[in-house]
A = this chain, B = another copy of it.
Amino acid sequence: MNESAVKKIVVLTSGGDAPGMNAALRAVVRTASHYNIDCYGIREGFNGLINNDFTKMGPRSVKHIISEGGTILRSARSLQFKTPEGRKKAYENCLQHGIEGIVCIGGDGTFRGAKVFYEEYGIKVIGVPGTIDNDIFGTDNTIGYDTALNTAMDAIDKIRDTATSHNRVFFVEVMGRDAGFIALNSGLATGAIDILIPERKDSIEELFATFERAEKAGKSSSIVVVAEGERMGSIYDIAKATQNSFPQYDIRVAVLGHIQRGGSPSCADRVLASRLGYGAVVGLMEGKTNVMVGMQSNRMVYTAIEEAIKKHNEIDQDLLKISEILAI
């Protein structure tokens, strides 16, 4: 490898936490160490840049964290960093430490902040997609998404036990913000009779028709998975409307909530996070900036941050169709 374009970098985690952020952090720190690049950890996202919360990190600082959920650097959404004054302070602290590159692990809010900072002050930035929502363009999967799928699936499997024992109908809300990836995949994986996601225009009539088909097919218990971003209404409204039309049903609502953000990362997430953490440091060394590192079709790919934010991974229409065919 040629001379590295950076000699001192920082790494931070920002936005909603996701399983595998620690694994990515470990990869950043150890790759930097391997190539003799100084690496500082910044606590609580961009706030740490502003508050001058820099800690030198070495290979042993990140031992055993590959299996841990959350992020040892902690995360935060920084209001100050949205102000010119905040960013100026952050820049001055970077300057003081001689920082030449910043690895930002997080979602699109994080990337927006990084982009503005680069454009204003010229310190190289590279994004690592860490979010359970899988809503970032430029990578097949985001870090944390696979773990969240398994967590949601395990929870719905448990609910299935009690649904079946009581001939009940459960509406289960899963996370994903404006994206339906978690809903579609966890719903397919748990045999949900219907899956309501924001990417598709759902209607209450179609839902009711599905219930009728399920009943005709002899299903005695049913689960409907609802994405938190579903646009038809809140899960409680949908459940209530269903109860009104099917008074004979014993209906329950379950909101899975924050358990989906935690837990030890899956193997796929640890491997993905390791690759992307490595790729981020190598990208900076090669002089890349204002890009996000991702994996597409098993190859490392760098996408302009602007593009990563603007575009979106699209829901697979085939998968939607398959989920309908297999449900009943």
Binding site for B on A (CB under 8 A): 13, 17, 19, 21, 26-27, 30-31, 34, 44, 59-60, 63-64, 66-71, 74-76, 140, 146, 149-153, 155, 157-162, 164-167, 170, 185-186, 188-191, 217-219, 252, 254-264, 266-268, 270-271, 274-275, 278, 296-298, 300, 316, 318-319, 322-323, 325-326, 328
The answer to whether A326 touches B27 (Cβ under 8 A) is: yes
Complex CA–CA separation, A301 to B43 (angstroms): 45
- Can you list 24 pairs linking A and B with CB atoms under 8 Å apart? A26-B326, A31-B326, A66-B189, A68-B161, A69-B162, A70-B160, A74-B165, A146-B267, A149-B267, A150-B266, A153-B270, A158-B260, A158-B263, A159-B262, A161-B262, A189-B271, A189-B274, A255-B257, A266-B266, A275-B319, A275-B322, A278-B326, A296-B297, A300-B318
Which of B74, B161, B252 has a CB less than 8 Å from the CB of A166? B74
Q: Are A161 and B261 in contact (CB under 8 A)?
A: yes
Residue in chain B with minimal CB distance to A184: B271
Contact A271 B157 (CB under 8 A): no
A interface: dominant SS: helix
Which of B63, B162, B319 contacts A261, CB < 8 Å? B162
Q: How far is the CA of A140 from the CA of B298 in the complex (A)?
A: 9
A250 to chain B, nearest CB (A): 9
Please state the number of chain copies in the assembly: 4
Which of B150, B159, B191, B264 meets A258, CB within 8 Å? B159
Tell me, rounded to whole Å, the shortest Cβ–Cβ distance linking A309 to chain B. Answer: 22
Q: Is the CB of A262 within 8 A of B185?
A: no
Contact, CB under 8 Å: B165 / A17 = yes
Complex-state Cα separation, A169 to B323, whole angstroms: 37
With a CB–CB cut-off of 8 A, which chain B residues contact A30? 325-326, 328
Q: Considering only CB atoms, which chain B residue lies closest to A277 in the complex?
A: B326
Nearest-Cβ distance from residue A165 to partner chain B, whole angstroms: 4
Contact of A69 among B70, B158, B298, B316 (CB under 8 A): B158
The reply to whether B188 and A270 form a contact with Cβ atoms under 8 Å apart is yes
User: How many Å lie between the Cα of A189 and that of B67 in the bound state?
Assistant: 8
